Structure 1
Amino acid sequence: MLDLHCHILPGVDDGASSLGESVRMLHAAAKAGITEIVCTPHCRDPYFDFDAMWDAFEALRSHSPIPLRMGFEVNIRKLRELGLEWVECLKFQDSNTFLLELSTHAGKRDFEDYEREIYELQCKGCDVIIAHPERYRAIQEDIEIAERLVKMGCKLQASADFIKGGRFGKERKPAQRLFDASLYSYLASDAHCVEHYAVFAKAWAKYAPMLREG
């Protein structure tokens, strides 16, 4: 079982604060049935330090009981600031997969711009995954926006905390609608601490059969 979105690297963002906590998270992930992890620290202010994040990855990999790969959760505003020349550096390790975070409070018109930017990523060979669409206000208000993203080739990733209401307390119903419409391809822990892996295990047991194939 792959976990493709988590904040497990020590001391680089708002996830694990130390190597010891990271190792405890690894063991919690293994207990939850996870057999491979893509580490995805935030590529957004105030956290992004590319070299420090890679150093943290190398430090953690030597302590891991399960295979790790490096990746990033790339905020679209930060990507605009960095420029498309950074795309190759921000893909998942040994992959064309690109995990993209959109703006929580974006409206429908913002998503028109996002679609153009996603198309640019796809033209650069990226397989774009949209992180936690259940958090985005525009999708909460209009599921057709999520349907358009899927039609243009994106895959959608649910963050497991939606079963407890989510980060902002309003994600459970939007996530259920997206699952009911068979729009999610991935369910990830989005873990920031040990306890989040128990939440992931609970969500996986119920919702894994509802993920899209392919």
Structure 2
Amino acid sequence: MIDLHCHLLPGVDDGARNLEEAVAMARMAIEEGITHAVLTPHFHQGIYDNQVSTLKPVFETFKEQLAESQIPLEIAVAGEVRISTDLLHLLPAGNVPFIGSIDDTPVMLLELPYSHIPPGTDNLLNWLHKNNVKTMIAHPERNREIISNPSAIKQLKLGGTMFQLTVGSFSEMFGEKVRDTAETLLLDGYADIVATDAHRIDKRPPTVKAGLDAISALVGPDIMKRLSFDTPKAISQVLF
């Protein structure tokens, strides 16, 4: 599996708390069959004021530790960007990371608030598309507005937005309602990739086997492979 959304980078958000835990999570990822991962700390102005430049030394230290620990996880660093009007000035300033690209168009991983779809989100997505940014929304199945009305996701699909579902949602890591919503979105064609969104050993560890089995049972092994390997590989070519 290729994991395009995990919080293994130590000490930069609410993911891995220290280097020791980050290494333990990387080892767990390998045991679960994950071979490549893009580390995606939160970019949320006023809460997680991360910058590409400040993350690089932390990333290099972590990469060196993986090599010393002989953990063969191939990694890159990007970010999970909170959807807000801050993007209107962050993007031109070059302060927003991308998880990869498709057809030479950079892909940005975006996060909705868990409570609702903010008014104007469709306009912001259209603005990003017009500025040559491909958008991918993380874990829409955990947004309460979409849980109560899965068809609400349609307003976000305009302009070619992609969707990344959390693999643990299919194994009830977040409860039955989230599982049901994830299954509905998958069967309705709104899943482009799946990823762990792993945070810590005791909070969303990078365990994927049960979720991938559940996806395979729903749509077959070929689609499961496309969601967990083929499409992520096409986006994250820098890892190969």
Aligned residues: 209
Partner of 1:61: 63
Structure 2: how far apart are the matches of 1:54 and 1:48? 14
Structure 2: how far apart are the matches of 1:31 and 1:165? 19
Partner of 1:90: 97
What is the CA-CA distance between 1:124 and the residue it aligns to? 2.0
Partner of 2:206: 197
What is the CA-CA distance between 1:165 and the residue it aligns to? 4.6
What is the CA-CA distance between 1:78 and the residue it aligns to? 7.1
1:99 to 91, 106, 109: 109
- Consecutive unaligned residues of structure 1, counting only runs of 5 or more, are none
Structure 2: how far apart are the matches of 1:103 and 1:82? 20
Partner of 1:157: 164
Deviates more, 1:124-133 or 1:136-145: 136-145
Task: Give the secondary structure class of the aligned counterpart of 2:96.
Answer: helix
1:74 corresponds to 2:81:
yes
Task: Give the secondary structure class of the aligned counterpart of 1:98.
Answer: strand
Partner of 1:135: 142
What is the CA-CA distance between 1:92 and the residue it aligns to? 2.1
Partner of 2:235: none
Structure 2: how far apart are the matches of 1:86 and 1:170? 39
Task: Give the secondary structure class of the aligned counterpart of 2:113.
Answer: coil
What is the CA-CA distance between 1:7 and the residue it aligns to? 0.5
Structure 1: how far apart are the matches of 2:12 and 2:88? 20
Deviation per CA, 1:3-50, whole angstroms, max 9, x where unpaired?
000110011111101111111111111111111100000111422221
Q: Which amino acid aligns with 2:6?
A: C
Does the CA-based 8 Å contact 1:7-1:191 persist in structure 2? Answer: yes
What is the CA-CA distance between 1:53 and the residue it aligns to? 2.3
Partner of 1:11: 11
Partner of 2:54: 52
Partner of 1:21: 21
Partner of 1:34: 34
Q: Which amino acid aligns with 1:100?
A: L
TM-score, length of structure 2 as denominator length: 0.77
Deviation per CA, 1:157-214, whole angstroms, max 9, x where unpaired?
1113323252x8741221121122121111111001236222x221122215455776
Task: Give the secondary structure class of the aligned counterpart of 1:106.
Answer: coil
Task: Give the secondary structure class of the aligned counterpart of 2:164.
Answer: strand
Structure 2: how far apart are the matches of 1:152 and 1:29? 33
What is the CA-CA distance between 1:80 and the residue it aligns to? 4.1
State the superposition RMSD in angstroms.
2.5
TM-score, length of structure 1 as denominator length: 0.85
Structure 2: how far apart are the matches of 1:101 and 1:179? 18
- Consecutive unaligned residues of structure 2, counting only runs of 5 or more, are 67-71, 232-240
Partner of 2:69: none
Distance 1:177 1:169, change over 3 A: closer
What is the CA-CA distance between 1:152 and the residue it aligns to? 2.7
